[in-house]
Homo-oligomer: A and B are copies of this chain.
Amino acid sequence: MTGELLVVGLGPGDPALLTGQARAALASAAVLVGYSGYLDLVRAWRPDADFRPSPIGAERARAHEAVALAAAGQRVALVSSGDAGVYGMAGLALEEWARLSPAERPAFAVLPGVTALLAAGALLGAPLGADFAAISLSDLLTPWSTIERRLDAAAAADFVLALYNPASGARRWQLPAACALIGRHRAPDTPVGVARNVGRPEQAVALLTLAELPTWPVDMLSIAIVGGSTTRRLGDYLLTPRGYHEA
């Protein structure tokens, strides 16, 4: 008997932002593996499932557990927030799966989800209308010098920037440092949108400027979208026109 491992992106948290495919996977999995905070979002409508919650920081062990359960013949959903491939569990799950011999491997699939930049972008109107770059400000796994190089390059080349993990309780200097780098290439009044807890009852969106961003209250549940040279405010929205010829 061969099991199956489905790596499922939950989207931002609101069940209405789940894809039908992801919802069906969560509804049919026998075992649900994930960070306890994300599993709690599913518990209400899958009270019968076998829940295997784990704490933040236990990502490698979580991926290993999910692969082992699937290899033992279970239908397993490994739950990630947003899209599992974007700063989520897809990579670790794939690594752990590939450690098994081909004969031992369960079926494997990643199911896409609405990542934070899309959910925040939609609430903000159309900030992502031109080329954009996603950059995580978390230097837990990536050296800050690499993050700096990417911020500088992307700001210089006029990408709209989606800043994931802008701050946490312990990481406070990274966002001001990132804003200083971006500010070498963008005006202080560059429009910025910050979204927090998108898709949840406490959802909040703010429109500000690059000058205001360093001291804006953000955390791990926030994402900041920094506009490019053509981004402008339109009422309560942000617009980055698709092209210059027409603008």
Contact = CB atoms under 8 A, between A and B. Distances in A.
Interface of A: 9, 11, 14-21, 23-24, 60, 83-87, 90-95, 98, 102, 109-115, 118-119, 121-123, 125-136, 140-143, 146-147, 149-150, 152-154, 156-159, 234-235, 237, 239-246
A100 to B, nearest CB: 11
Given A19-B16, A125-B110, A118 B244 contact: no
Given A16-B21, A140-B243, A141-B242, 17 more contacts: A9-B118, A9-B122, A16-B20, A17-B112, A18-B20, A85-B122, A91-B126, A92-B242, A110-B126, A118-B118, A131-B150, A132-B133, A141-B243, A146-B158, A153-B154, A153-B157, A154-B157
This chain's copy number in the assembly: 2
A141 B129 CA distance: 12
A228 to B, nearest CB: 10
B146 A136 contact: no
Contacts of A245: 140-143
14 contacts: A16-B24, A83-B121, A91-B242, A92-B242, A94-B126, A98-B239, A130-B142, A131-B135, A133-B159, A140-B245, A142-B242, A146-B158, A150-B159, A154-B159
Given A91-B240, A132-B133, A158-B150, A98 B16 contact: no
Contacts of A94: 125-126, 234, 237, 239
